[in-house]
Amino acid sequence: MAEHNELGTTGEKIAENFLKEKGYEILATNWRFGADEIDIIAKNNGFLVIVEVKTRSTNAFGEPEIAVTKQKQRFLIRASQQYIIQKDINEECRFDIISIIIKNAKTTIHHIEDAFYPSISY
């Protein structure tokens, strides 16, 4: 596995554990619909929470969350719509980003709740 893939997998496990510690119920990880993937799907305080995890070894080129582009948001929204339909979900949906930097032995986690909102143009 490529080093950046290993870093991403490590970040997703860190994010999953972080959410569990905060009381989130993890419903799915790496859920796929076609080519679209949702890193973590969870429930918390009556919300279905769609989580995109971005992990980097440095923030030299900006914080990891800036990699969640409008296109990536569209993919997440499209996949989450299918998850909601398939699982017959009735809760409100929220889109979060967990930004992780793993440098040397130090891990920094930034949880951005309500990171973006779907709009009619999606």
The model's pLDDT over 13-69, given as tens digits with 9 standing for 90+, comes to 999 999 999 999 999 999 999 999 999 999 999 999 999 999 999 888 889 999 999
CATH architecture observed for domain 3-60+68-105? 3-Layer(aba) Sandwich (3.40)
Question: Do residues 102 and 57 touch, judged by C-beta distance below 8 A?
Answer: yes
Rounded percentage of the chain residues whose pLDDT exceeds 70: 94
Distance, in Å, from the CA atom of 48 to the CA atom of 51, rounded to the nearest integer, reads 10
pTM over 0.95: no
Distance, in Å, from the CA atom of 43 to the CA atom of 21, rounded to the nearest integer, reads 13
Sign of CA dihedral 40, 43, 44, 46: positive
b/e map of 60-91 (b: 16 or more CB within 10 Å)? eeeebbeebeeeebebbbebbeebbeeeeeee
